[in-house]
């Protein structure tokens, strides 16, 4: 069982900042999810091909199109340091800033996220799915490239 920390790396902290300020997700749902993540440890997250899941909860992210990946490669391909960092498994703030300056956001918007859970909550996302979103900060701290898996 794993809990939640507030994202100790710049990527984890940036993810939480995005969730709370720019994701478009209802703040009351996020608060419920943050509390759930802190107080009720869940089984480890499984991250694979645009989704994160734990127990009976699944959060899916719209995957990048091949055109979007070409844009990413065009931007990052001009900087050998960025390519080397990616090959070393790093996704630094400098890379994210470079992409953002080019109009490419790696973090999904609320419209690009779908969730499912077996609970009976009506809110979207339910507190369990919102907890998965918060727990991604910890995952990104340990494996930054999980963001683009």
CB atoms within 10 A of CB 31: 13
Range of the domain at 93: 64-107
Give the model confidence (pLDDT) of 35-58 as tens digits.
999 888 778 899 988 899 998 999
Determine the straight-line distance between the first and last CA of the chain, rounded to whole angstroms.
Answer: 23
Both 70 and 139 in a single domain?
A: no
Query: What average pLDDT does this structure show over 3-13?
Result: 66
The region that residue 65 occupies, defined by phi over 0 for left and psi between -120 and 50 for alpha, beta otherwise, is beta
Both 41 and 81 in a single domain?
A: no
Give the model confidence (pLDDT) of 98-123 as tens digits.
888 999 888 888 888 999 999 999 88
Both 102 and 121 in a single domain?
A: no
Both 1 and 55 in a single domain?
A: yes
* 1 has pLDDT over 60: no
pTM: 0.85
Both 9 and 57 in a single domain?
A: yes
Q: Which two tokens stand for residue 99?
A: 């992409």
Both 13 and 50 in a single domain?
A: yes
As a whole number of angstroms, the distance between CA 33 and CA 11 comes to 19
């Amino acid at each position: 069982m794993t809990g939640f920390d507030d994202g100790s790396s710049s990527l984890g902290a940036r993810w939480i900042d995005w969730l709370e300020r720019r994701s478009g997700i209802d703040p009351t749902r996020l608060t419920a999810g943050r509390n759930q993540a802190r107080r009720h440890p869940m089984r480890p997250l499984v991250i694979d091909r645009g989704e994160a899941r734990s127990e009976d909860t699944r959060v899916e992210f719209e995957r990048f199109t091949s055109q979007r990946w070409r844009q990413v490669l065009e931007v990052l391909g001009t900087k050998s340091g960025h390519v080397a960092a990616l090959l070393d498994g790093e996704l630094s703030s400098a890379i994210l800033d470079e992409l953002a300056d080019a109009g490419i956001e790696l973090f999904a918007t609320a419209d690009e996220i779908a969730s499912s859970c077996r609970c009976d909550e009506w809110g979207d996302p339910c507190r369990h799915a919102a907890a998965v979103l918060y727990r991604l900060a910890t995952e990104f701290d340990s494996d930054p490239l999980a963001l683009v898996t």
